[in-house]
Amino acid sequence: MKTKTSFVCQNCGFHSPKWLGRCPNCGEWNTLIEEIEEEAAVEFSFPPSEPVLYEEIKEAKRERIKSGIEELNSVLGGGIVLGSLVLIGGEPGIGKSTLLLQVSRDFAVQGKKVLYVSGEESLEQIKIRGERLGIQDGKLYLLAETNLERIITHAGKLNPQIFVLDSVQTIFSSKLSSAPGTISQVREVTNQVFRFAKKNHIPSFLIGHITKEGSLAGPKSLEHMVDVVLYFEGERDHSHRVLRALKNRFGPVSELAIFEMGSRGLQPVSNPSAFFLKERPTEEAGSVVVCTIKGSRPLLAEIQALVSSTLFAGNPRRMTIGLDHFRAAMLLAIVERKLGFSFAGEDIYINVAGGLTLDEPATDLAVIMAVVSCLKNKVIPPDLIVFGEVGLSGEIRSVGHPLARLKEAHALGFKTVILPQGNLSQLEKEDIPDIKLEGVQNIKQTLEILF
Ligand code: TYD
Ligand code: MG
């Protein structure tokens, strides 16, 4: 039985029986998307709802089950809620299938029945990966299938306790004539899996590929349809991966977990600060350690700067890796204006070591210190750490979570912290760990203390 579909303009709502490149009603290009008509008639198997008096609503008890990976549980807000649908997005090759196969393995070891459906790989290919991950016995069922209706039928019969679908771009519903991976298909797939998860109270994971630009038919358009959106990120040339929540109907979105991809799958990194500092040079100018906050956790990272005379006069280079380019340009302008340096004939490179991306203004002062340290060829003491936001007149402004940053610095053996005077004045004496603190109010004063 073929469902009736039509193409609907996403801009103005115009209906057309066939696909058109341009909407004849509003004139927009590429806005017509196939949709199922009479959606309401499709096997709606929820019990009919009724209005309920607010006071009579019982508080929902959210039952969660915990995966074997503690870091994943905390990103989810303490385990996965029964009946919730979690979308895991990330670039191809980043490790999404690996992560979920590990999760499936651990659930199977706990004695739970798991169904892992792959529309991307054959059973043999999955088994090869499974061998690397050391999968042995347990009730882990694999299904290689791309037809959504068949998948749902199988899942309904098997009635697993965990359901994984890899990936939303390769599965298609036979109700639609569009190709897999198109917006209509990924929406329909997500929609049906969502209903399946809710109806049967099965926690479900959906994998979605996204490109760096956040691809067109990618999970971006699905974010509002699912309960939880996790992003899995990292640089291909580096072994670490960051998993963070972008949306969570059942928990905070601030948590984040760091993993390292090894020869036997993903291993959680239990001490991220030590991990990112382990190859730091301690006797080179241009390197400084900053204490930043990622999610709700403090993280120490190394910022490096290199200043060298430019080959092409009049067109010096400004390169940043892992930092916002415009913010760095602004900081360089502040240094020129307030400290009297001139970068006119210099190429400047600023890099966050280890492939991390830092997007917090609290790193400002560290960027400036790294650049000046390189320019003056003066080493910053290796046991010194810094944080603080810099304003346009060179003033140092307070940042959030100062105590958490100090504790992390202390835990990793740092002896001195340069921090905003405003933060220092807020802190309660008795809370401060045993570490030397230097409160600063502007960048000039900071450099006087340092050099
Ligand atoms: P994969 O999970 O297939 O990525 P995705 O599903 O996001 O596309 O992971 C692919 C990469 O991970 C691949 O380059 C191989 C590497 N890998 C390891 O380094 N170690 C391992 O144990 C496994 C299973 C994969
Ligand atoms: Mg994959």
Mean pLDDT of 339-358: 90
Q: Is the pLDDT of residue 40 over 70?
A: no
Mean pLDDT of 227-231: 93
Do the beta carbons of residue 65 and residue 205 sit within 8 Å? no
Q: Ligand 1, atom 23: nearest CA belongs to which residue? A: 265
Taking the centre of ligand 2 as the mean of its atom positions, its distance from the CA of residue 439, in whole angstroms, is 49
3-state secondary structure of 297: strand
d(CA 101, CA 162): 12
d(CA 108, CA 406): 41
Mean pLDDT of 119-125: 95
Q: Name the residue among 118, 82, 83, 113 with its Cα closest to residue 100.
A: 118
**Contact partners, residue 136, CB within 8 Å, separation at least 6:** none
Q: How confident is the model at residue 45 (pLDDT cuts 50, 70, 90)?
A: low
Tell me the best of 94, 97, 98 to mutate to test the pocket of ligand 1, counting ligand atoms within 8 Å of each CB and taking the most: 98
End-to-end CA distance of the chain: 78
Our measurement of the distance from residue 264's CA atom to the centroid of its chain's CA atoms, rounded to an integer in Å, reads 22
Instruction: Kindly write down the DSSP assignment for every residue of 104-146, as one continuous string.
Output: HHHHHHTT--EEEEESSS-HHHHHHHHHHTT--SSSEEEEE--
CB of 139 within 6 A of ligand 1: the answer is no
Taking the centre of ligand 1 as the mean of its atom positions, its distance from the CA of residue 203, in whole angstroms, is 24
Mean pLDDT of 72-84: 93
Percentage of residues of the chain with pLDDT beyond 90? 62
What's this model's pTM, rounded to 2 decimal places?
A: 0.80
d(CA 391, CA 16): 54
Within 10 angstroms of residue 222's Cβ, the number of other Cβ atoms is 23
Q: Ligand 1, atom 8: nearest CA belongs to which residue? A: 93
Mean pLDDT of 205-215: 78
Element (DSSP H or E) covering residue 330: helix 325-339
Helical packing angle, 364-376 and 325-339, nearest 10°: 60
Comparison of pLDDT for 446 and 43, the residue scoring more:
446
Q: Which atom of ligand 1 is nearest to the CA of 129?
A: 24
Q: Which is it for the CA torsion 322, 280, 300, 103, positive or negative?
A: positive
Do the beta carbons of residue 183 and residue 216 sit within 8 Å? yes
Using the structure block, give the residue that is written with the tokens 């999404």: 96
For residue 134, the model assigns a pLDDT of: 92
Q: Name the residue among 128, 100, 104, 126 with its Cα closest to residue 207.
A: 100
Q: Is the pLDDT of residue 286 over 90?
A: yes
For residue 214, the model assigns a pLDDT of: 55
CB of 93 within 6 A of ligand 1: the answer is yes
**Contact partners, residue 137, CB within 8 Å, separation at least 6:** 108
Q: How confident is the model at residue 207 (pLDDT cuts 50, 70, 90)?
A: very high
List, edge to edge, every strand of the sheet that includes 287-294.
Answer: 318-321, 346-352, 297-309, 287-294, 384-386, 416-420, 436-440
d(CA 391, CA 400): 16
Query: What average pLDDT does the chain have?
Result: 90
3-state secondary structure of 85: strand
Identify any residues that bridge with 300 across adjacent strands, giving them in sequence order: 291
